[in-house]
Chains A and B, each alone.
Chain A
Amino acid sequence: MSAGLEFVLLVFMGLPLLIVLINNLLKREIAQKICLSLGLIAGIGQMVAAIVVFVSLNAAGQASVDFSQFWNLTAGASRFSVDFFSLLALFCIGMVVTAGFLTAGKTIGDKRFNFTNLAMIILLGMNGIALVTDLFSLYVFLEITGVASFVMIALNKEGNGIEGGFKYLVMSAIATAFILGGLAFIFMQSGSLLYSDVASALSDWQNVDQPALLIVAFALVLVGFSIKSGIMPFHGWLPDAYQSAPAAVSVILGGIVTKMAGVYAILRLTGDIFVGVNLVNQILMLLAIVSIVLGAVAAITQTDFKRILAYSSISQIGYILLGASCGSAIGLIGAMLHFFNHATFKTTLFVNSAAVETATGTTEIEKLGGLQEKMPVTGVSSILAFLSTAGIPPLAGFWSKLLIILAVWQTGNFFIAGLALFASIFTAAYFLRLQRCVFFGSAVEGLENTKEVTGGICLSSVVLSVITVGFGLLFPLVLLFVQSQGLI
């Protein structure tokens, strides 16, 4: 691989760190003025870098590339690497962080300096999760993301924010104990924690010394990652954290952090390490369907915009895991595409909740109403995002859900496929209720003079909606690419 491409890869780990340094070396008054622009540069730069690496890899006919130029390889293996899936994740991270910074312009106030510092640390943590090739390093970068997220949630130092952040930190600490326990068992069996070494040690897993030990290890690690991603029944902290965080933080947290800190790691485990282990897939499928159904049912009863989105995330994350649990290429691709789609439409919805909160001062849906005429961009982008979430064609969410349900059908679990399909009706139900309460009907008293929030928030909503519609319409091209790579 050319050194130039290695330099592009350095953008993922170097640029955020550089921005933290610049931000803190500048005079505070200057930093306050330009810090959000610096954050935008990091987000957009990451998206561009991901596209450049993707095009280069595709042109070279390579599936992955090791990041070795700046690291000592005496141990015989690269510690950072990218493949198509990690590039997709890196692009999603860049996209959501960009949306977060655009939202922060009108919502974060005088906390922008600290917001930028912490967002860059979270960006580094998530990039590390996407790039590492070692389970222990994965754990280290998970911790970075967790600690920085706690501080971000408590950024306003309000009681609810600190309580929400505290819950996140405590649950994160419990998850850590589970993950470390599981990794210790895996290390005992394989003698290494590099993905490739563990995968080859487990390739004939039924003939390893003690298969039961590996199942216990998987169960421990799965519980840990499930807590971090807020999958039912490990979701207790998630709605409180999303609701109490400042608007821009909710965008980053709900849009990508929980997915990278839990779901991505689970996809790596099932796609790269525990490949073809039926019991593992069955456990995951059970967890996924519970999350899909209960998350959707719980969302129906919520009365706060952000809490509805939080429970919706729990349900949609279940779909991603359901795809991964099928153990087939089509299921894994469906999961990866839903990962991307969820990052897009859920970020749109969190940006919209920020717009509503900025314009009206509340996210309680019972205090809202008739905002469609006052905030047309927010209203329309909300409809597009929720239709995509519910899996309505031809929007992006339809295709990824279709692939996932097809993959489940192929495994012979017809009941679970039906249940996943049926849960989409619940998704439509809670979003219709949300749309009706917030945007439709006549304006409630006190909101007659509400106006659309312009600037970065509006731009984010529009761009993300275009991606949702465009990705749905151009989906055949995505399928052709996947086919050309021999993935399906």
Chain B
Amino acid sequence: MTTFVIVLCLVLMVGFALSAAMLRSMLKSAVSLAAMSAALAVILYMMGAVWAALFELSVCVGLITVVFISAISLTTPDRRDEAHTKDHRQRFAALPFILIAAGVALIAVLVSTGFYLPQPGEEAVAEAAFNQVLWQTRQADILGQILILLAGAFAVVVLFKEGRKI
């Protein structure tokens, strides 16, 4: 059952990634990107990386999507004609086929070389509590997280607080 859900989410992930790249509407693209991240969060959760899933869900699905949609809402409505839309579709028409070909080639290489993913190293499997790891070995990243939040707050101030110019 777990394997089925993971494979399903992988398929969904690739599908949403493709639609994010190929859709003409930026809003739909941003939503597709969020859905792709949500599928990834489910995969991470099913594979036991609960905290990674939580961060993926909150940062990528939450914060980044909000920033994307905010940016889109601030741009002028897209009034390009039908020809542009057609051109856009033509430009990305080959993308799914390239992706499928790359996937097949990758699987062929992996099978022929007996490729496998090794187990995580000692630091990853150490049974240290999450908070212990966070406060004792990832201090620099905590400072980084604070700064990202600060940058996000300034983004909201810059993009929304002062009246819309467009």
- Residues in B whose Cβ lies below 8 Å from that of A213: 115, 117-118
Instruction: State in angstroms the CA–CA spacing of A405 and B49 once bound together.
Output: 47
- Contact indicator A191/B145 (Cβ below 8 Å): no
Does chain A have a CB within 8 A of B157?
yes
Q: Which of B141, B148, B152 contacts A136 (CB 8 A)?
A: B141
Does chain A have a CB within 8 A of B102?
no
Contact code string A119-155 (vs B, CB < 8 Å = 1, else 0): 0010011001000101011001101100110110011
Which chain A residues (52-111) contact chain B, with CB distance < 8 Å?
Answer: 71-72, 74-75, 79-80
Does chain A have a CB within 8 A of B154?
yes
Does chain B have a CB within 8 A of A291?
no
Does chain A have a CB within 8 A of B48?
no
Q: Which B residue's beta carbon lies closest to that of A131?
A: B140
Instruction: State in angstroms the CA–CA spacing of A163 and B78 once bound together.
Output: 12
- Residues in B whose Cβ lies below 8 Å from that of A147: 67, 148, 151-152, 155
- Contact indicator A140/B151 (Cβ below 8 Å): no
- Contact indicator A159/B75 (Cβ below 8 Å): yes
Q: Which A residue's beta carbon lies closest to that of B160?
A: A157
Q: Which of A124, A125, A189 contacts B118 (CB 8 A)?
A: A189
Q: Which of A74, A141, A158 contacts B144 (CB 8 A)?
A: A141
Q: Which of A140, A165, A192 contacts B121 (CB 8 A)?
A: A192
Does chain B have a CB within 8 A of A166?
yes
Which chain A residues (161-206) contact chain B, with CB distance < 8 Å?
Answer: 162-163, 165-166, 169-170, 173, 187-192
A358 to chain B, nearest CB (A): 20
Instruction: State in angstroms the CA–CA spacing of A155 and B165 once bound together.
Output: 11
- Residues in B whose Cβ lies below 8 Å from that of A479: none
Does chain B have a CB within 8 A of A20?
yes
Q: Which of B137, B150, B157 contacts A20 (CB 8 A)?
A: B150
- Contact indicator A157/B166 (Cβ below 8 Å): yes
**CB contact under 8 A between A137 and B154, given known A173-B33, A191-B123, A192-B121:** no
Instruction: State in angstroms the CA–CA spacing of A190 and B120 once bound together.
Output: 8
- Contact indicator B140/A187 (Cβ below 8 Å): no
Q: Which of B120, B147, B148, B152 contacts A188 (CB 8 A)?
A: B120
- Contact indicator A79/B140 (Cβ below 8 Å): yes
Does chain B have a CB within 8 A of A114?
yes
**CB contact under 8 A between A117 and B124, given known A124-B147, A165-B71, A166-B71:** no
- Contact indicator B136/A75 (Cβ below 8 Å): yes
Q: Which of B67, B74, B113, B139 contacts A169 (CB 8 A)?
A: B67
Q: Which A residue's beta carbon lies closest to that of B145?
A: A140
Does chain A have a CB within 8 A of B127?
no
Instruction: State in angstroms the CA–CA spacing of A284 and B159 once bound together.
Output: 38
- Residues in A whose Cβ lies below 8 Å from that of B26: 166
Q: Which of B75, B113, B122, B154 contacts A191 (CB 8 A)?
A: B122
Does chain A have a CB within 8 A of B68?
yes
Q: Which of A155, A166, A190 contacts B158 (CB 8 A)?
A: A155
- Residues in A whose Cβ lies below 8 Å from that of B75: 159, 162-163, 166
Q: Which of A71, A150, A156 contacts B165 (CB 8 A)?
A: A156
- Contact indicator A157/B144 (Cβ below 8 Å): no
Interface size on A, residues (CB 8 A): 50
- Contact indicator A117/B154 (Cβ below 8 Å): yes
Instruction: State in angstroms the CA–CA spacing of A121 and B136 once bound together.
Output: 24
Does chain A have a CB within 8 A of B64?
yes
Which chain B residues (86-134) contact chain A, with CB distance < 8 Å?
Answer: 113, 115-124
Does chain A have a CB within 8 A of B143?
yes
- Contact indicator A72/B154 (Cβ below 8 Å): no
Which chain B residues (39-86) contact chain A, with CB distance < 8 Å?
Answer: 64, 67-68, 71-72, 74-76
Q: Which B residue's beta carbon lies closest to that of A173?
A: B64
Q: Which of B135, B137, B147, B154 has the most CB of A within 10 A?
A: B147
- Contact indicator B158/A114 (Cβ below 8 Å): yes
Instruction: State in angstroms the CA–CA spacing of A155 and B150 once bound together.
Output: 16
B122 to chain A, nearest CB (A): 5
Q: Which B residue's beta carbon lies closest to that of A124?
A: B147
A139 to chain B, nearest CB (A): 9
Q: Which of B76, B120, B124, B157 contacts A114 (CB 8 A)?
A: B157
B161 to chain A, nearest CB (A): 9
- Contact indicator A74/B159 (Cβ below 8 Å): no
A-B contact pairs, 5 of them (CB 8 A): A118-B151, A121-B147, A137-B138, A140-B148, A157-B166
Does chain B have a CB within 8 A of A487?
no
Closest 5 pairs between A and B when the two form their complex, measured CB to CB: A191-B121, A140-B144, A75-B137, A79-B140, A137-B140
Instruction: State in angstroms the CA–CA spacing of A130 and B8 once bound together.
Output: 41
Q: Which of B113, B144, B152 contacts A128 (CB 8 A)?
A: B144
Q: Which of A72, A190, A191 has the most CB of B within 10 A?
A: A191
Does chain B have a CB within 8 A of A210?
yes
B141 to chain A, nearest CB (A): 5
Instruction: State in angstroms the CA–CA spacing of A13 and B144 once bound together.
Output: 11
- Contact indicator B139/A79 (Cβ below 8 Å): yes
Does chain B have a CB within 8 A of A474?
no
Q: Which of B33, B76, B148, B159 contacts A159 (CB 8 A)?
A: B76
Does chain B have a CB within 8 A of A212?
yes
Instruction: State in angstroms the CA–CA spacing of A124 and B147 once bound together.
Output: 8
- Contact indicator A121/B154 (Cβ below 8 Å): yes
- Contact indicator B71/A169 (Cβ below 8 Å): yes
- Residues in A whose Cβ lies below 8 Å from that of B117: 188, 213
Instruction: State in angstroms the CA–CA spacing of A148 and B150 once bound together.
Output: 9
Instruction: State in angstroms the CA–CA spacing of A147 and B136 once bound together.
Output: 26
Does chain B have a CB within 8 A of A209?
yes
Q: Which B residue's beta carbon lies closest to that of A163?
A: B75
- Residues in B whose Cβ lies below 8 Å from that of A156: 165
- Contact indicator A187/B121 (Cβ below 8 Å): yes
Instruction: State in angstroms the CA–CA spacing of A169 and B67 once bound together.
Output: 10
- Residues in B whose Cβ lies below 8 Å from that of A20: 150
